[in-house]
Structure 1
Amino acid sequence: MNQQSNNPLDEEFDQLVQEQLDLWHVPGLSIAVVDGDQTWAKGYGMATLPSTRVTPSTLFYAGSTTKAFTAAIMAMLVEDNDGYPQVQWDTPISQLIRDDFVLATEYATQQVTVEDALSHRTGLPRHDQALGSTAGGSSSTAVRDIVRQLRHLPLTAELRTKYQYNNAMFIVAAHVIETVTGETLGALLARRIWEPLGMSETYFGLEEARGAEDENPLAHGYAYNYADDDGTYRVIEWMSLADVSGAGSVISSVNDYAKWARALLTGSPALFASPTTVREHLWRARTLLPVDQDGSGSGSGSAFTGPGAYALGWETGVYRGVEFFEHQGGMNAFGAELILIPELQYAVVALGNTAGTSNCAEQTLVYHLIDRKLGKPRFFDWDAKNLALLERGKHEAATAIARFYPSLPSPPLPTTLPLSLYTGTYLHPGYGSVTLYLDETGSSEGGGSSVILRADRNQNTWPEILRFQHVSGDFFVAVSEHDGDYGAIYPSVYPAEFRVGAAGKVIALGVGWEKEMGEEKIWFKY
């Protein structure tokens, strides 16, 4: 990598990186900067505690930055009218994978296009807790099973009326690509993008990355011990990526992501038949993003000018007078940030090894570098914004009962049935199963032991361990322990409810997993 005197990764920046690693409790991260024909890259901190340092070749999970690769492969198919005339941006997906792609309404099934799926405007919300509940076997089998689950998941908006981020639709896109080409998405990415660009440190899935560890070591992911705040970390098991496919299966280094960024900035003829494909298709805004309420969105005192938008695997907006294209990624105990500014032929990529908080550190560092490139002093406090988000999350978790159940009897009503009669397996065709069991390890307010209901959702793409806390009658809250994002700092809490039938037996369990559904719950039958 170029080491000229104008290297932005200088000693001053090194100090800022260390401050961010300490503030956000991130063991390590790596950063690369592309500036015209120059590239700089550097590793900071630890890839594996206690002594394996991060280098620019260290592998990290790249999370949702995978989506840009998936969209790029789809663009190649759209360009190839001789080989794949049936694949166009406005092609309904049901015409391409007719047996597998069905949504909750006939209209959505028939009308959702390739472009809709890649721009988060299908009307289907995240439903992330549904992913993986019935998948198994090979990656292709898992992907097909997840696509077939979608017919059982409620829509929460009309088609093309609302931005709703959705990982499952990029899994759908992967299934479309693999079905029409007869190749795996990983093989296509290697043949059509990574090999032409010389990206020798990029892999599709955990198994491929582990197979290359002798050459390119894979960082471990960590969760900081916030409960004791004692400087220790818990290592998080590497997550299998068979389920997520086109939504998040890439593992790579900043060395390779710098090559990818430069190819996009220059419209590399090694990738696309037309030099305008990136700008006119992949980067063209499709869906307006909601205005943030945390200070980083548009409006007075915000970081950005005007509303942001989602293109195809990219977010776009205006920062300090320049247009940017960006995407974050988050996977169990890993975070990624990639931003490109075509006007300046400038890009920054950062990869880190904690859940959620590495993204916070990366955001401060990336925009610091952009401010320096623009020759402007910092004007937005990303740390304050992200710390406020964490505090808000903690507050919402702590006050969940009052928010979900604002009017409760005093004292609370007992459950209709003995707690043991609520145990067993509950089924939903889209969300799979929830098996409840009694756990006597809970603690009562008096300090003694208590019996609680628990459920282990280890079969899901993003596993959760649920603890059901009784509120009143047959109403509970489900407190989730997980490592997927901010779960290492504060739990996710969902409203939960049981239904007891006329025969005096429990017949259903409802959990409010999907925020876009409002007060409606996902109902599992007993």
Structure 2
Amino acid sequence: MKQILILLFTTTFIFSATSQSKEKKPDFAKRLSGIEKELNQVLVDQKVAGYSVAVVYKDKIIYSKGFGYRDLENKKPVTPNTLFAIGSSTKAFTSAILGQLEKEEKLKLKDLATSHLPQLSFKYDYLNTGITIRDMMCHRTGFSRFDYSWYFFNTSNRDSLISRVKYMEPTVKLREKWQYNNWMFLAQGMIAEKITEKTWEQNIQERFFTPLKMTHSNTDIFATQKDADASLPYTLDSKMSIKKMDYYNINGMGPAGSINSCANDMGNWVATWIMGGKFNESEIIPSSYVKDASSSQMVVRGGQPTDHSDIQFTNYGLGWFLESYRGHFLVEHGGNINGFSANVAFYPSDSIGIVVLTNQNGSEVPEIVRNFISDKLFALSPIPWNADAKKAKDEMMAEVKKLESKADTTSLQVKNTQPSHPLKDYAGYYSNDAYGNFTVVYENDTLKTFLAGEKMWMSHYHYDIFNLESVKKEDEEDESKFLLNFASASNGKIDRVSLDLDEPEKTTEFLRSTPKVELSNDDLTKYVGDYDLEGNTIKVYIKGKVLMVLVPGQPDYETASIGNDTFELTIAKGYSVKFTMDNGKSIAVVFQQPNGNFTAKRK
């Protein structure tokens, strides 16, 4: 009897497997038939200028189409080849380079990050000797976002950017909690640059764009702007009207999000993942890495249901989010950057991929459209994703209007106050090691600065607090508050400004200083010599490329030029020396100190 049961079980298994192998491919064309009506309604309900869609089955794009306009004013339509910025959907590309390098035996994902990138340094030794490449790929380094550091204070110099990390404070222990962090993807791109001796941009082009025939894609926003089929960036203003905005040049932080692509090109990228890393039968991404990257590495959100009982957990792989969508395993990643939003997704077990790219800032459209199409492809009972999002948005706007009507009584602004100093006293150079620096200038009775690639002016809010506002007229209706709180030193002079940036319930301080001026040794030579200060000999000499000052009985002081023949003592804040010049040579040096000025004449 026992043998018969075993035989029966075996026979049933074979029959089941045979039945599955003969299962016909679903009629996706029929399931997608007529979806344009609903997809066009998304344009209206979500107030979006345009978007594009690509649907992939195995290695083929089975549907691609553009909706709305890439240029709303001139009514230029979106096509499947229209370029959009894909933002953080770039991350899977960056990590995949390292997956390739692991197969090439150039690195291992378990390697310490600092062992491959000397420029990367953390504040604490346990992080320098603990954080691996894999940790960076799945957001478990212990660092929160610190996004304002690169967004407000961007630079194309990646070495300069990555040097800020050593001044950033982790918020939790290593591997304790999933926390999204763009900086660690910058580091991954730089590791690839160091190993390959090619830029991240070159690696993306040669390793992915070319072999995957992504002929429209690029990593340069300036190239996108010149493309005849590129979309303009848009946002919604406070009255929910579509408004054009400026492109944002990510440049230095490129590995975290600077790819610009189109639905058709991204369809090829998704097809490669569906096919286990192969495109046109050639392996582009190692199959072992594809499995690793689309496997759970870190829990983002546990298995408790959301508003929908059949949409549950969210985990993170390597450059991908992993989710349960109505009984189907979903691998996806969104992307947002000024004027653009994206979602790139595939269902590995179903061999289906969906790409949605839109020209709306911070938009829900990619997820709305992805979920709508998923329900159609899987023949699921429809969820009114678009209608639900519209209802939520309408309710939010009603609440905003209600709050606006109470604004006069609830505003934190104290009326009829004045700054403690004349406006020109707030002008200066402000810096923070973890963020960068910015300059406040006094111009035409107004304080101005330059942040996030944009010129801004500072309107007085109350006391010594000013609000940042765009100088562009079209942004005048933007009532958002980004406040700068200036403070004075004990001598009464403005010496710092605080901003509420990335860290919750903690302000970030920028100290006022004078920007350093680089001088050659020939420039420094005119200051070298012996100076007499009340019978004491002060020696000024050059050490390496630095001007040094030796006062008898004190350590040698290193200085930094701040222009106008003036040098700060680098280890003594508030102390400086200013040289008096005659015919290109110093004749005296004045020690400027909090307790007074002291002059030493050249011997």
What is the TM-score when the length of structure 1 is the normalising length? 0.80
Match of 1:282 in 2: 293
Do the aligned residues in 2 keep the contact of 1:62 with 1:248 (CA within 8 Å)? yes
Residue 244 of structure 1 deviates from its aligned partner by: 2.4
Corresponding residue number in structure 1 for 2:191: 176
User: Match for residue 102 of structure 1?
Assistant: 121
Distance in 1, matches of 2:482 and 2:403, equals: 11
- The aligned counterpart of 1:223 is 235
- Aligned twin of 2:245: 236
Name the SS for the 2:66 alignment partner: strand
In 2, the alpha carbon distance for the partners of 1:466 and 1:155 equals 33
Q: Tell me if 1:521 matches 2:502.
A: no
CA distance in 2, matches of 1:396, 1:164: 30
Note if contact 2:314-2:323 (Cα within 8 Å) is conserved in structure 1.
Answer: yes
Kept in 2: contact 1:453–1:469 (CA 8 A): no
Aligned 8 A contact 2:368 2:386 in 1: yes
What's the Cα RMSD here? 3.6
- Give the C-alpha shift of residue 513 in structure 1: 0.6
Q: Which amino acid aligns with 1:222?
A: Y
Native 8 Å contact 1:143 1:245 kept in 2: no
1:255 aligns to 2:264 (yes or no): yes
Residue matched to 1:470? 461
Q: Residue 92 of structure 1: which of 112, 123, 139 is its match?
A: 112
Which of 182, 187, 206 lines up with 1:167 in the alignment?
182
Structure 2 counterpart of 1:125, from 144, 169, 180: 144
Structure 1 partner of 2:451:
457
Question: Partner of 1:266 in structure 2?
Answer: 275
> Which residue is 2:21 aligned to?
none
The residue type equivalent to 1:286 in the other structure is Q
With CA pairs under 8 Å and 6+ residues apart, which has the higher RCO, 1 or 2? 1
Q: Give the direction of change, closer, same or farther, for the CA distance of 1:491–1:376 in structure 2 (3 Å limit).
A: farther
- CA 1:257 to 1:290, structure 2 compared with 1: closer, same or farther past 3 Å? same
Q: Distance in 2 between matches of 1:77 and 1:409?
A: 55
Within 5 Å, which residues of 2 pair with 1:84-483?
Answer: 84=106, 87-98=107-118, 100-131=119-150, 136=155, 142-209=157-224, 213=227, 217-227=229-239, 233-269=242-278, 270-272=282-284, 274-279=286-291, 281-290=292-301, 298-299=304-305, 301-302=307-308, 305-357=311-363, 360-379=364-383, 381=385, 384-385=388-389, 388=392, 415-436=419-440, 455-459=449-453, 463=454, 465=456, 467=458, 470-471=461-462, 473-474=463-464, 476=465, 478=467
Q: CA deviation at 1:423?
A: 3.4
Q: Compute the displacement of 1:421 (Å).
A: 3.1
Once the two structures are superposed, what CA deviation does each residue of 1:201-255 show, in whole Å capped at 9, x if it has no partner?
A: 22222244456x36xx21111234544x6x6x54333332422211112111111
The TM-score, its normalising length taken from structure 2, stands at 0.70
Q: Percent identity?
A: 22
**Distance in 1, Cα, partners of 2:497 & 2:439:** 11
Across the two proteins, how many residue pairs are aligned to each other? 476
Quick one: structure 1 residues 410 and 235, their matched pair in 2 at CA, closer, same or farther if it must change by over 3 Å?
closer
Shift in alpha-carbon separation, 1:391–1:182, aligned structure 2, 3 A: farther
Contact 1:24–1:361 under 8 Å retained in 2: yes
Give the C-alpha shift of residue 391 in structure 1: 6.8
Cα drift, residue 413 of structure 1: 6.9
Cα separation, partners in 2 of 1:80 and 1:394, compared to 1, 3 Å:
farther
SS in 1 for 2:29: coil
Q: CA deviation at 1:106?
A: 2.5
2:37 to 15, 20, 40: 15
| Contact 2:331/2:347 (8 A) holds in 1 | yes
| Structure with higher strand content | 2
Structure 2: 5+ residue stretches without partners: 1-26, 513-603
Equivalent residues of 1:57, 1:255 under 8 A apart:
yes
Shift in alpha-carbon separation, 1:435–1:23, aligned structure 2, 3 A: farther
For the residue of structure 1 that corresponds to 2:92, the secondary structure is helix
Question: Which AA in structure 2 matches 1:309?
Answer: N
| Equivalent residue letter for 2:318 | L
Greater Cα radius of gyration, structure 1 or 2: 2
Match of 2:80 among 32, 52, 56: 56
Indicate conservation of the 8 Å contact 1:436/1:454, yes or no: yes
